[in-house]
Amino acid sequence: MDFNTETLESLCELVVDCPHSTPKWTDSGIIVLRNQNIKNGVLDLSNPSFTNEEDYQKRVKRAIPRAGDIVITREAPMGDVCIIPEGLKCCLGQRQVLLRPRNEICGEYLFWALQSPYVQHQISWNEGTGTTVSNVRIPVLKALMIPRFPKHEKQSAKILSVLASKLEINQQTNQTLEQMAQALFKSWFVDFDPVFDNLLASVDFNVENLETSLPDELKQKAQRRLAALNSLHNATECKASLIALAHELQAQLPTKEATQSAVQVSEKAAETPVKPNFSANPKILTQHANTHAHFPSEFEHNEQLGWIPKGWKSGTFKDVADGLSGYAFKGKDFSEFGCAVLKIKNISTDRTVTISDVNRVLPEVVDNLHRFLLNDGDIIMAMTGAGSVGRFGVVATENNEPYYLNQRVCKLSPKLKNGAPFLFSALNQPGLEEVIFKAAQGSGQPNISVNGILATTLLIPSLSTVELFSRLLKDTYDRKITLRKECYKLVKLRDTLLPKLISGELQIPDVATDDETVD
């Protein structure tokens, strides 16, 4: 379809190149935008870089970035864009250009037009030589031809922005769900909060009554845990509940050995929570009976791990997971169409598995490779490559399409049925990826085997606590996969509508209502 175009320069009040110098990096201060923060139209400042006020002033002499400005990357990569949000004080890093749309131009439309295939082709292709380019020069950037449909631009931009907003909400929700899961994992299996609760309850929350043989390290942690409990709005009820639970268990099991064995609940007992006879707040009591009864009230020293809950042990991931290395597909097996094969490149740093760029093999190639077929919720980990070894993600299929596991990628399966939430959280502990990477062999191209991954040290709790954790987090784990699948649909819809709206093939009148736009 024919459409009118105007140059990018004519649509902008400013087209300002970044300073050609490296900022002075600081631990805090004013944010410096870097190309790594800009991807798929999103400004991600979860890992920001900073400079000081003096260097900031030097970098904004030509223009101070303000809300609504567009930043476009010139190289490494080139053509990525983002919009400066409200309230952000920042400056450009390197290889970036600041665009300020004219007042009469819809900045949102220009933002989306720059991401359209029509404009991206101009950015990446040198029409004079017929070759692709690795960077875009300022004169070329200014001369980019932007499609214009003044009567439809605002509504076209609104539709695309609504989709982008829904996509961002899903991704943020997933991040929140993951943070909640990791907070619970840390509380139970790193900080041992329920164990300290039980320990404190056994002495009626009087720290002075703790055994004199208890090391200062644990006493200090007990003090901090007591302070945290005392800060709760229902602290009195919680403490009374925990004391009652401790006394009830002690009354049921008169010997220390029997008490310990009861705390280490069997698989069958884990499915039937303790039901003590209490008179305090039933809701709080039920919560504590269903959780704290699965934890011991004592610690013991382990040579490898230090002080750990009594009855737990030092082990490895082999105690909780099985591993499978992917199939070695040959070069001749790959084709333009067919079944998707997930490689190391598909494992993202955000613990997801991307499916936008997959290699494929013909169906007949995978006829007898059912054991390498992946399902929703499977955890896969990179086994090769500097910066890749130890990186893992969770598989979420699109439209139930079959995905197959490639060589040098390991699938980790929980030994416990429905134990994926615990396995994922255990793998997601801070620093664990680095531990696995250090265990890899080879300096130039580090590699690690499945057995090497499974040999990674792990504190092994009681079976009942693992089951309880996975049961509590199952809905959260499943929800993350569902949201990921919704993201696939939103991305596909956005990518389908973008070229149609920007080319004018699909036109939305300005009179459309917000409800019509969202629908």
**How far is the CA of 434 from the CAs of 110, 389, 427, in angstroms?**
42, 9, 11
- Whole-number pLDDT of residue 509: 66
Interatomic CA distance for residues 351 and 175, integer angstroms: 10
- Whole-number pLDDT of residue 180: 94
Kindly give the parts of the chain with pLDDT less than 50: 254-280, 511-519
Look at the block and give the residue holding tokens 């991206």: 120
- Whole-number pLDDT of residue 512: 46
Look at the block and give the residue holding tokens 């400005």: 69
Under 8 Å between Cβ of 168 and 40: no
> Per residue in 17-26, pLDDT tens?
999 999 999 9
Interatomic CA distance for residues 123 and 126, integer angstroms: 8
Under 8 Å between Cβ of 244 and 202: no
Under 8 Å between Cβ of 334 and 309: no
Count CA within 13 A, CB hemisphere, residue 501.
Answer: 27
**How far is the CA of 353 from the CAs of 206, 346, 387, 446, 486, in angstroms?**
49, 5, 16, 21, 14
DSSP 3-state assignment of 29?
coil
**Which alpha helices (H) appear in 190-234, and where do they start and end?**
193-201, 216-230
Q: How far apart are the first and last CA of the chain?
A: 26
- Whole-number pLDDT of residue 129: 56
Look at the block and give the residue holding tokens 């429905």: 418
- Whole-number pLDDT of residue 518: 44
Q: Which domains does the chain have, with CATH numbers?
A: 4-150 (3.90.220.20), 193-294 (no CATH), 317-464 (3.90.220.20)
Beta strands 359-361 and 392-394 are: unpaired
Interatomic CA distance for residues 238 and 284, integer angstroms: 7
Task: Name residue 123's beta-bridge partners.
Answer: none
- Whole-number pLDDT of residue 242: 87
- CB-based contacts of 87: which residues, under 8 Å, 6+ apart? 67
Residue 432 identity = L
Interatomic CA distance for residues 83 and 160, integer angstroms: 14
Interatomic CA distance for residues 438 and 206, integer angstroms: 44
- Whole-number pLDDT of residue 519: 44
Interatomic CA distance for residues 372 and 327, integer angstroms: 7
Look at the block and give the residue holding tokens 């459409």: 3
pTM of the model: 0.85
Q: Token pair for residue 487?
A: 């993201």
DSSP calls for 432-444: HHHHHHHT-B-SS
Interatomic CA distance for residues 44 and 46, integer angstroms: 6
Q: What letters, b where the CB count within 10 A reaches 16 and e where it falls short, cover 287-305? A: ebbebbbbbbbbbeeeeee
- Whole-number pLDDT of residue 210: 84
* C-beta neighbour count of 243 within 10 angstroms: 18
Interatomic CA distance for residues 140 and 409, integer angstroms: 41
- Whole-number pLDDT of residue 162: 96
